[in-house]
Structure 1
Amino acid sequence: MLRFIVPLLALCFTLPAHAASDSYIARLLNKPVPGGVAVVDLGPAAQAPQASYQGKPVLVVREQDARWLAIVGVPLTVKPGSQQIIAKTASGTRTLPFVVGSKAYPEQHITLKNQRQVNPNPDDLKRINIELADQTRAYRTFTPGTPSNLLLDKPVNGPLSSKFGVRRFFNGEERNPHAGLDFAVPAGTPIKTPAAGKVILIGNYFFNGNTVFVDHGQGFISMFCHMSKIDVTVGQSVARGDVVGRVGSTGRATGPHMHWNVSLNDARVDPAIFIGAFQP
């Protein structure tokens, strides 16, 4: 498989000033489906425009000749059809449309011995709600600065064991779709951050087990969970390829594996898009 390791800044010098659909970034990342990414052309401007989608700020990157692109995360809950972002520049505010296509996601049936991981008791639910609030705040982090790279490295080398978006049934009961990728690798395998960033949250959570959130900039967030060990601290800066922890099976897991979420503008999107492994 071709490994996409070109830094974002290098891309800026190789792109023609065409519509987003003709750009290198768009050809690689523009997968506008529920749970996918829409690359929207914001046009040229001397300064970076601001963009928002569903009331949340959006990652904006620069191409050649001062042309800007919005990299928009599309939530799994969005229905196929017309969507729009709001773009603000020095010359005014515009509404820019894009179209979301359809994508069918398969089902996955999982058997758990611990019934509380399927139907938590009242004390579990109190804990889960507190943890959810912490994680939601982390996903909504939006810091300035361009991410070091948009085309990401795999956090581990290994086969996929569960794809993004799969409808999951635990002990026959449907729960939230799978919000990331699972890699089948042994316990203790080092997990490496796929882009530079800053650790913004760590914790041991009811469902996720040992968890690390890394902010890559402008709402571009990686989350790793079910870890056996965390090797970073909150506030720590990490370079691309730094180890953040070790593979494990903590939380709701049937065995050791590496679970990786990618979030844009507080929307969990398919990490396969960023490693050249997306399947329509």
Structure 2
Amino acid sequence: MRTFLVVIALGLGLYAWKSASAFSLPVHRPVPGGVAILELGEPSDWESPPQAFFQEKRVLTVLHNNQWKAVVGISLDHPLGKATVTVRNAEQYKPLPITTPPTLNKKVSSAAFEKSFEVGGKDYAAQYLTVAPKHVELSETNLRRVRTEQPVIRAAFEAFSTTVPSTFEMITPVVGPRSSSFGLRRFFNNQPRRPHSGMDIAAPTGTPVVAPAPGKVIETGDYFFNGKTIFIDHGQGLITMFCHLDSIEVKKGQAVLPGERVATVGATGRVTGPHLHWSIALNGALVDPALFLAQN
């Protein structure tokens, strides 16, 4: 029965572009670390589903309330001001730098157009943490390990499958208080590091971690900074990552359903105590998971 349900859940994603008016999109918040929702036209404007690209990376597109929309992830280090998405017909080989938008009642065929939006400012708080010196000042051995692991992690975040997500409303993957929010400017042993690129949820070691939405496990590993980690592909570049796990209870290639147990909370990697670090990537950009929670 479980296998049958998984097939149905993932199959719905494959055809979501035909009937995607029932679910909610993420919160539109075009700031660094946020999400921009851009309207691309009605189905009658397109001969085939449109494709969008942002900073040369494929963007998630979905038919929602009789409008094609691009769901664009904005990285934390993105500059403020004008940003541009290139949109084209799916049958084209590559984006074309044409700025004329599609005309109503005239289907887009060979042309492409640019859709602009403004990236506004957002102030993130600062956080000061004390960790073991080895996690700040890396030895040559640990530095080599990190350099080996980084391409694997980056490839997982930038994965793009053609399956359309069957939902954008995610459930919280673990029960517990939020101990550190997305976007915090972090200082380890008073040394500045990259802003916090996920949501931390405090929970005792061994607390179950569940999948927040339907998807497929695309990578697992045990990394220097992240500890034991799982990556789940929810379709079209929507990727979730779960770090510092005590145990991993799924395998690469395994389909999962929302609420299905995938791991347990731990304190592996660079941590100050047991908790779950939860990240979400869109078109390779790490964005605020709170924008995808059902209560929003």
Q: 1:229 aligns with which of 247, 250, 267?
A: 247
Matches within 5 A, 1:141-152: 141-152=159-170
Aligned to 2:59: 58
**Residue 120 of structure 2 corresponds to residue 101 of structure 1:** yes
How far 1:276 sits from its partner (Å)? 5.3
AA at the equivalent of 2:38 = V
Distance of 2:136 and 2:252 partners within structure 1: 30
Distance of 1:247 and 1:139 partners within structure 2: 21
AA at the equivalent of 1:99 = E
Distance of 2:69 and 2:260 partners within structure 1: 28
Aligned to 2:6: none
Distance of 1:83 and 1:221 partners within structure 2: 22
**Residue 77 of structure 2 corresponds to residue 77 of structure 1:** yes
How far 1:48 sits from its partner (Å)? 1.4
AA at the equivalent of 2:76 = L
1:85-132 deviations in whole A, cap 9, x for unaligned? 0000242201000111100011000011x2110111111111001111
Aligned to 1:126: 144
AA at the equivalent of 1:134 = V
Aligned to 2:97: none
Instruction: Give the TM-score taking structure 2 as reference length.
Output: 0.84
AA at the equivalent of 1:145 = T
What are structure 2's unaligned runs of at least 5 residues?
A: 1-11, 90-107
Query: Which has the larger Rg?
Result: 2
1:184-221 deviations in whole A, cap 9, x for unaligned? 11111111111111111101000000000000010000
How far 1:12 sits from its partner (Å)? 3.3
Aligned to 2:36: 38
Aligned to 1:110: 129
Distance of 1:57 and 1:13 partners within structure 2: 22
**Residue 177 of structure 2 corresponds to residue 159 of structure 1:** yes
Q: 1:220 aligns with which of 238, 263, 266?
A: 238
**Residue 257 of structure 2 corresponds to residue 239 of structure 1:** yes
Distance of 2:165 and 2:210 partners within structure 1: 16
Superposed structure 1 runs of 4+ greater than 3 Å apart: 7-15
Aligned to 2:20: 12
> Structure 1 stretch 45-54 or stretch 258-267: which is displaced more?
45-54
**Residue 84 of structure 2 corresponds to residue 87 of structure 1:** no
Of all paired residues, the percent bearing the same amino acid is 43
CA contact (8 A) 2:20 2:62 kept: no
Q: 1:277 to 1:116 in 2, by over 3 A?
A: farther
Distance of 2:22 and 2:235 partners within structure 1: 22
What are structure 1's unaligned runs of at least 5 residues?
A: 1-6, 16-23
How far 1:225 sits from its partner (Å)? 0.5
How far 1:64 sits from its partner (Å)? 3.0
